[in-house]
Amino acid sequence: MSNELNVRVEGGAAGTLVGEDQQFVFSYAPDASPDQFVSLTMPVRFRDYVHPRLHPVFEMHLPEGYLLSVIKKQFAKLTETDDFGVLSLLAPSIRGRVHYGVADSGLPDDLELDHLLYGNNDGLFEELVQRFALRSALSGVQPKVLARVENKATLKLEDYIVKSSGAEYPALALNEYCCMLALKNAGIPVPEFYLSEDESLFIMKRFDLTQEGLPMGFEDMCVLQAKSRDDKYSGSYEQVAKTIKTFVNPRFKAESLRQFFKMVVMNNRLQNGDGHLKNFGLIYENVASVRLAPAYDVVSTTAYIRHDVAALTLMGSKKWWNRKHLLRFGIQVCDLTAGQAERLFDECEAGLSELKVYVQRRLKGPLNEDQRNVLAHLDELLGSDPKTFDAAKCPGV
């Protein structure tokens, strides 16, 4: 397999990525325009970008965990499956603002969204993995796959991320659905999402495409802070706020900081110990539209890891913070007024209250043991009066 990839931005040749002598070199094409930057952190220039491992913006395309293990198992005998090798395998089908040539157009079109939502899902996820593994440039360790699906409502082929619960984290699809429902009800931008009828799959529409299906720029906080995926738990929410202030266009800065404050509040209230650097990002059509991306990958991790802690530090600690301290974070770090911080926090609590109604209704109906455990855990978290919420009394601290 070649150790060189031609990198393109929005269809035009941008440069070349080469792996050689235990380092990686990205060189912009001599005629690359300033708008063909591959990352907000890598403006077009004559000098090469040299890195001891894959540059974070290219590493961002690599799968992790379950999906990576599937790809390595299938191709280890045929080709190199180090980072550059896996990126080369995925390259023909990566469909984004940054891509690596002509996208694979041979995607099957006989999979329908209704089939994912209402069909018999026994063995379906494993079938999807076999079918779409090399078209799934998705980070994260949770079992997931990127599938192109026909939406009968729009009569379009659209990209959906399909996630499975797995034995290690039972009812994870239900867990994520509940958490994302709370964020949506709190007024936080989220992608379109669904829970399959048998609750085995969480299905989320890809959010980095325009209404016309054109790819937008997306960069997670690891890329923007020049960190590798191995460092995704290294850092603080204060540093994320600083990154937002550095890269977000001034028109969207205040709005993005308000959104980020609410996301931090919800991560604390739901006890999401997986709110790491790769689960926050910026999205853009061009440099004049850089803004905070919708919230994604939010789950209550203390449903499985009873004494889990936050993924990043906040005020120097990974504990779960209460209202008073989170309001201070909003004012001192997110540039909110006291009134704004109070109002936004109350919007979060309103979203959580709506979730509690859903959870308590579900707890009165038929459930299997895994579903009941997850819902009971969420009910316990949501049981605190938001005005007197004390994280120290909740499990996971």
Q: Are residues 172 and 291 in the same domain?
A: no
Q: Are residues 378 and 355 in the same domain?
A: yes
Where would I find the beta strands (DSSP E) of 136-262? Answer: 144-151, 156-164, 193-195, 201-205, 217-220
Q: Are residues 184 and 268 in the same domain?
A: no
Q: Are residues 198 and 247 in the same domain?
A: no
> What distance in Å separates the CA atoms of residue 346 and residue 348, rounded to the nearest whole number?
5
With respect to residue 25, please indicate whether it lies within any of the assigned structural domains. Answer: yes
| 295 DSSP assignment | P
Q: Are residues 376 and 257 in the same domain?
A: yes
Confidence bin at 322 (pLDDT 50/70/90): very high
Q: What is the pLDDT of residue 163?
A: 87
* Residue numbers of the domain that contains 55: 4-99
With respect to residue 286, please indicate whether it lies within any of the assigned structural domains. Answer: yes
Q: Are residues 243 and 364 in the same domain?
A: yes
> What distance in Å separates the CA atoms of residue 240 and residue 222, rounded to the nearest whole number?
10
Q: Are residues 64 and 18 in the same domain?
A: yes
Query: What is the strand order of the sheet 12-20 is part of?
Result: 49-51, 23-28, 12-20, 4-9, 98-99
Q: Is the pLDDT of residue 222 over 80?
A: yes
With respect to residue 211, please indicate whether it lies within any of the assigned structural domains. Answer: no
With respect to residue 201, please indicate whether it lies within any of the assigned structural domains. Answer: yes
Q: Give me the mean pLDDT over the 154-179 stretch.
A: 84
With respect to residue 106, please indicate whether it lies within any of the assigned structural domains. Answer: no
Q: Are residues 345 and 198 in the same domain?
A: no
Are the C-beta atoms of residues 203 and 161 closer than 8 Å to each other?
A: yes
Q: What is the pLDDT of residue 181?
A: 98
Q: Give me the mean pLDDT over the 74-86 stretch.
A: 73
C-alpha distance from residue 300 to each of 64, 273, 304 (Å): 20, 7, 8
């799959």: which residue's tokens? 201
pTM of the model: 0.88
Selection from 196, 217, 199 nearest residue 208 by Cα: 217
The CATH number given to whatever domain includes residue 127 is 3.30.200
Q: Are residues 233 and 353 in the same domain?
A: yes
Q: Are residues 258 and 366 in the same domain?
A: yes
Q: What is the pLDDT of residue 126?
A: 54
Last residue of some domain: 99, 121, 147? Answer: 99
Last residue of some domain: 155, 184, 205? Answer: 205
Q: Is the pLDDT of residue 1 over 70?
A: no
Q: Are residues 242 and 371 in the same domain?
A: yes
**Residues 6 or more apart whose Cβ sits within 8 Å of residue 100:** 5, 6, 7, 8, 91, 92, 94
Q: What is the pLDDT of residues 339-364, one digit of tens each?
A: 999 999 999 999 999 999 999 999 99
Q: What is the pLDDT of residue 88?
A: 84
Total domain count, the chain: 3
With respect to residue 210, please indicate whether it lies within any of the assigned structural domains. Answer: no
Range in 100-109, 186-195, 316-325, 360-369 the model is least confident about: 100-109
Confidence bin at 323 (pLDDT 50/70/90): very high
With respect to residue 306, please indicate whether it lies within any of the assigned structural domains. Answer: yes
209 strand-pairing partners: 215
Q: Are residues 272 and 369 in the same domain?
A: yes
Computed over every residue of the chain, the mean pLDDT equals 86
With respect to residue 63, please indicate whether it lies within any of the assigned structural domains. Answer: yes
